[in-house]
Amino acid sequence: MAATPRKNKTARRILAAGAGLVTVGALVAAMPSAGAAGDRSGGGHGHGHDKGQGRLVDVQLLSFNDLHGNLEPPTGSSGRLTHLNEDGTTRTIEGVGGVEYLATHLRQARQGHPYSITAAAGDMIGASPLVSGLFHDEPTIEALNRLDLDVTSVGNHEFDEGARELARMQNGGCHPTEGCFEKGKRFRGADFPYLAANVTNEKSGKPLLDPYFVWERNGVRIGFIGVTLEGTADIVSAEGIKGLKFGDEVETINKYAKVLERKGVKSIVALLHEGGLPASGAYNYDCDSPGPGNGISGPIVDIAKNVSPQVDALVTGHTHQAYACTIPDPAGKPRTVTSAASFGRLYTDTTLTYDRRTKDIVRTAVASANHVVTRDVKPAGDMTRLIDRWKTLAAPIANRPVGHIAADIENPADAYEKPLGDLIADAQLEDMAPADKGGAQLALMNPGGIRAPLSHKASGAEGDGVVTYGEAYTVQPFTNMMTAVDLTGAQLVTTLQQQVSGPNQAAPKILQVSKGFTYTLDMTKTGADRVVVSSVRLNGEPIDPAKTYRVAMNEFLSGGGDGFTVLKEHKNKLVGASDLDMFTAYLAAHSSASAPLPVPAADRITVIK
C-alpha cells in the first residue's frame, strides 16, 4: 500500500549559526500557520489494513544508522557481517547491504503494520562513495525520500561540508558553485526532518535545526528527539561549524523530554549519534548476557544510564557496531538501546506497545532485534533506476582506471594496523618526501579517513584487480589537503599516546603509519602507558625527544582532529595536494596489469594483548 503523503515539508527549519552562514530568511521556507516548529505531525506509513483501535497498539519502529551514502552494495569487509552460532562459534555472512535491498527489506517488514515508523540515527551522508559523494550526496537524500524515512538525527558527517550545505540538504536547491547536476531538475531536499537538538547558535542559543519531531497516527503520538555526539566539533572541519556549539547529549535529551511531556507527548524515542562497543562483533550477540567480559561498553552506557526515564528507547550510531541491548535508566528499569552497524547492512525492528489511556509506551513489552539486509530478495526497482541514473552521470570520472592490485587490500575495523592504512600512509610519505614538497620523513593517517577496502573483484566492466577512480574515491572521499609539519620527537611520542588515552582511551584511534616508522603497543596496560616509548623508531633509529621531524598528515589531523591535540602545536606547515590525488598517483606509479600492487604486510605496529 502506498505511503501516506508527507505533511508540512515547508516547516523544515535551519537557523543561521554565524557570520559565515547566510541569513535565516535565505535558508528557511515559510513556516506553517499551525503548531510550533518541531511539533509537526508525521503522516506515517499506511501499510496494510488500519488496526489497533483498542487500548494497546503495537507500533513498529524500523531504524538504521551510518549509511554514509552507500547506495550500491558495499564490497569487501564493508559488505560483511559476523553471525554468532548457537555453539559459540562464528561465521561470516558475505554480500549484505545496498539501498536497493534495504528498501525491499523495509517495505516487506512494514507489511501488516499500520503503525510503522522509520527513523535513523545520523551519518546518512558524508564520507560517501563516488556515486553519491561526487554530487554532494543529493542521490542519497533522494534515495532516503524514496525509502520513506520519517525522521533522523544529524551525525558528525552531516557537517562534513558545513552547516550551510546541511541547510541545502534539508531545504533543497542546487549546489552554490556547481549548480544543478541534472538538466531541468532542481534538488528538492529531504522530505524528512533532520533533528539536532544539541547543536545551537553560540550567541543566541537557538537550535540549528528542529530539536524534536512528533509522529502521529489515529491518536497515537510518539516524539523523537535528535542529537549528535557532543564531541562533533573535534572530528569535523572547524571552518564549516563556526558559530555553532555542540551541547551535552544527556542534558539536551532530558530538556526536550520535558518539553514533549508538557505538550502531552509521553512516548519518546531518542535518536542519538553516539554509540557503544559490544563485547562481540557479531550482529546477533546477546549483549544482555551476564558474566565478565560480556555486555556493552563505551559512551552510550553512561548516556543511557542518565537519560530521563521519560524516554522509552534509544536508537544510536557512530561506532558502526551492531547491538540490541537493554541498559537500565536512572530509575533502574531496563530500556532498549539499539544500533544497526553501518552502510545499510542491517536494520533494527523494535516493537513499541503504546497504551492509549496513559499515552505512554509499555516498557516491559518493548522488543528489538537486528535483521540482515540480505541480497537474496528482489532489489527495489525504483532504487535501481535511481542508482543507474546517477552512475551514468558519474561514469566518465568513476570508471577511469588508476591502478592494479594483486588481491583484496583490506581495512578491517577490528585491526589496529590495516593493510590499506599502510598503503595510504606510504603514498602520502612518497608525495611529500621531496624537499620542495615538504621534506617529510614519515606520514600519519587517521583511521576514520579510510572508508572502505580495495576489492580485487571487479565492480563493473574494468576487470578483476583494476582499481578505478570511483573505487579510490570510496576509500578516501574527503579529499583532505595534505600538510607537512615540524614536530619534535617528544610531540610524536605524545601523539602516539593520545591514540590510547584521554578521549581515545575507551575506543583507541590508532594512526596508520608509513614504512620505516615502528613501535609497540602494550594493550595489557592502560592509558598512555600502552605506548612502549623505548620502542618508537624511525628507520631503525630511536626517536630523539629533542629532535625535529618532518611529518606528513592531512589538515584534519594537523588541526588536532580525533583528539590529537598535540598536533595543533606543529610548526612550519606546508600544504600539498589532496590525499586522494596522492593515493591515485601512488597506485599509478607502483602498479600495472603485469605487476599489480601486493598486499602490504601490516607489520609496523607490534601489538601485545
What is the per-residue pLDDT for 459? Answer: 85
pLDDT tens track for 200-218: 999 999 999 999 999 999 9
What is the per-residue pLDDT for 292? Answer: 63
Q: How far apart are CA 280 and CA 102, in angstroms?
A: 24
Stretch among 26-30, 159-163, 415-419, 566-570 having the lowest mean pLDDT: 26-30
Q: How confident is the prediction for the chain on average, in pLDDT? A: 91
- Could you tell me if 521 and 606 are in contact, meaning their C-beta atoms sit under 8 angstroms apart? yes
Q: How far apart are CA 419 and CA 428, in angstroms?
A: 15
What is the per-residue pLDDT for 77? Answer: 85
DSSP one-letter string for 437-492: GT--SEEEE-GGG--SPBPSS-SSSS-TTEEEHHHHHHHSTT-PEEEEEEEEHHHH
- Rg (C-alpha) for the chain, rounded Å, is 24
What is the per-residue pLDDT for 479? Answer: 86
Name the grid cell of 586.
Answer: 601512488
Mean pLDDT, to the nearest integer, of 97-111? 98
Share of the chain above pLDDT 70, in %: 91
Q: How far apart are CA 323 and CA 63, in angstroms?
A: 12
- Side-chain-side CA neighbours of residue 381 (13 Å): 0
Mean pLDDT, to the nearest integer, of 247-260? 98
Q: How far apart are CA 532 and CA 551, in angstroms?
A: 20
How far is C-alpha 374 from the geometric centre of its chain's CA atoms? 21
- Could you tell me if 455 and 579 are in contact, meaning their C-beta atoms sit under 8 angstroms apart? no
What is the per-residue pLDDT for 34? Answer: 29
pTM confidence score: 0.85
What is the per-residue pLDDT for 10? Answer: 35
Kindly indicate the confidence band of residue 52, based on its pLDDT and cuts at 50, 70 and 90. Answer: low
- Could you tell me if 174 and 186 are in contact, meaning their C-beta atoms sit under 8 angstroms apart? yes
What is the per-residue pLDDT for 11? Answer: 38
What is the per-residue pLDDT for 501? Answer: 96
pLDDT at 269 over 50: yes
CA dihedral (290, 294, 298, 299) in degrees, to 10, reads -10
The 3-state DSSP class for residue 38 equals coil
How far is C-alpha 427 from the geometric centre of its chain's CA atoms? 25
Kindly indicate the confidence band of residue 291, based on its pLDDT and cuts at 50, 70 and 90. Answer: low
Q: Write the CB contacts of 71 (distance below 8 Å, at least 6 apart in sequence).
A: 98, 99, 129, 131, 132, 139, 140, 143, 383, 386, 387, 390
Q: How far apart are CA 397 and CA 156, in angstroms?
A: 28
> Could you give the angle at which helices 99-110 and 381-398 cross, rounded to 10 degrees?
170
What is the per-residue pLDDT for 51? Answer: 53
CA torsion sign for 588, 594, 596, 598 is negative
The amino acid at residue 312 is: D
CA torsion sign for 98, 99, 103, 104 is negative
Name the grid cell of 423.
Answer: 598503503
Stretch among 233-242, 407-416, 487-496, 502-511 having the lowest mean pLDDT: 233-242
pLDDT tens track for 516-549: 999 999 999 999 999 999 999 999 999 999 999 9
Mean pLDDT, to the nearest integer, of 348-373? 95
Name the grid cell of 317.
Answer: 550510531
| Number of neighbours of residue 248 by Cβ within 10 angstroms | 14
Compute the residue count for the chain: 609
What is the per-residue pLDDT for 54? Answer: 85
> CA-based angle 175:134:433, to the nearest 5?
115
303 burial via Cβ count (<10 Å: 0-12, 13-18, 19+): buried
pLDDT at 410 over 60: yes
pLDDT tens track for 558-571: 989 899 999 999 99
Kindly indicate the confidence band of residue 35, based on its pLDDT and cuts at 50, 70 and 90. Answer: very low
What is the per-residue pLDDT for 227? Answer: 98
> CA-based angle 168:313:300, to the nearest 5?
80
